[in-house]
């Protein structure tokens, strides 16, 4: 059976409907990979993968990336009873790219909805390829020369602006990285590398850095570049981590909201 596809917005996100067995066999893997790179976000409504099926599906698309602690499924929730490190996920409520502390970030994440919050909890994505493409040419040329410092501890300050020293030191221990503001991909396409981990342009003042980074965040998260997914239990969503930013909409930590995540190992370093 062929894939049934429907673009959800002109610049980002495509819905895919297909036979589950065909998805698990890898029959459509090449087409899905192509769509992922072109569209940024793929939505599989109520495909109802089990954890084992989600792992199998992920493996059809590339090299499976286990979590740092070794598990294959990561529980995305703010409930510390279900995930003892859930407090660190508070940073996911702000626009970001996963893996800015790594030379090679993950290629993609796959989320499946298990339990939803009565309010909030949607996930938003923005296309950082399209955002770059629509910049004026003089700005593109200027930004391609710039480099930016990123850190996990900067994202901490978004949700804990007066953190305890111990917490700050734990986040600082993760390290900092210097990345290009514009990622020049092997494909020839270019995307912006911004988000809540970005905190200073190399060679610029903190004031000027903040102004430009906020300007670019506002530019990249305009409605034409953004898709908001309204979850239904059983949905699976994949996004290209190399060409999108994402964030969760705030929800009650006591709601029990639970998504299960798998990841594809990165294939391309920031450049």
Residue range 6-22, pLDDT digits in tens: 999 999 999 999 999 99
State how far the Cα of 60 lies from the Cα of 28, in Å rounded to an integer.
9
Mean pLDDT of 119-142: 98
Judge contact between 241 and 107, C-beta under 8 A. yes
Judge contact between 216 and 170, C-beta under 8 A. no
The label of the residue with tokens 């989320």 reads: 111
Report if residue 1 sits inside a domain: no
Report if residue 211 sits inside a domain: yes
At 175, which CATH number? 3.60.130.10
Sequence-ordered list of residues with C-beta below 8 angstroms from that of 243, at least 6 positions apart, any chain: 37, 40, 127, 128, 129, 185, 189, 191
What are 245's strand-pairing partners?
A: 126
Tell me: pLDDT of 84 over 90: no
State how far the Cα of 152 lies from the Cα of 130, in Å rounded to an integer.
26
Tell me: pLDDT of 69 over 90: no
H or E stretch at 182:
strand 182-184
Q: Taking the alpha carbons of 52, 265, 79, 126 in that order, is the dihedral positive or negative?
A: negative
Mean pLDDT of 61-77: 94
Mean pLDDT in the chain? Answer: 96
Domain limits for position 114: 7-264
Q: pLDDT for 11-61, tens place per residue?
A: 999 999 999 999 999 999 999 999 999 999 999 999 999 999 999 999 999
Tally the domains of the chain: 1
Tell me: pLDDT of 87 over 90: no
Report if residue 91 sits inside a domain: yes
Tell me: pLDDT of 193 over 90: yes
What would you report as the CA-atom Rg of the chain, rounded to the nearest whole angstrom?
Answer: 18
Tell me: pLDDT of 1 over 80: no
- pLDDT recorded at residue 85: 82
Report if residue 45 sits inside a domain: yes
- pLDDT recorded at residue 254: 92
């Amino acid at each position: 059976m062929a894939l049934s596809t429907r673009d959800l917005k002109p610049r980002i996100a495509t819905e895919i409907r297909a036979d589950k067995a065909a998805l698990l066999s890898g029959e459509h893997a090449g087409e899905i990979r192509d769509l992922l790179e072109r569209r940024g976000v793929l939505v599989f409504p109520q495909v109802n993968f089990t954890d084992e099926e989600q792992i199998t599906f992920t493996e059809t698309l590339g090299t499976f990336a286990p979590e740092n602690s070794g598990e294959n499924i990561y529980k995305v929730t703010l409930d510390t009873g279900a995930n003892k490190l859930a407090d660190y996920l508070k940073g996911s409520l702000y626009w970001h790219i996963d893996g800015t502390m790594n030379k090679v970030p993950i290629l993609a994440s796959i989320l499946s909805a298990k339990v939803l919050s009565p309010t909030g909890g949607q996930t938003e994505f923005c296309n950082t390829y399209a955002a770059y493409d629509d910049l004026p040419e003089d700005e593109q040329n200027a930004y391609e020369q710039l480099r930016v410092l990123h850190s996990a501890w900067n994202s901490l300050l978004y949700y804990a602006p007066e953190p305890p020293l111990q917490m700050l030191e734990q986040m600082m221990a993760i390290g900092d990285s210097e990345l290009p503001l514009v990622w020049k991909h092997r494909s020839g396409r270019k995307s912006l590398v911004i988000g809540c981990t970005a905190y200073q342009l190399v060679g610029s003042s903190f004031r000027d850095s903040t102004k430009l980074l906020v300007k670019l965040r506002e530019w990249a998260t305009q409605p034409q570049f953004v898709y908001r997914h309204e979850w239904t239990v059983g949905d699976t969503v994949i996004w290209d981590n190399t060409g999108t930013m994402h964030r969760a909409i705030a929800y009650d930590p006591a709601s029990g909201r639970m998504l299960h995540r798998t990841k594809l190992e990165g294939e391309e370093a920031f450049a």
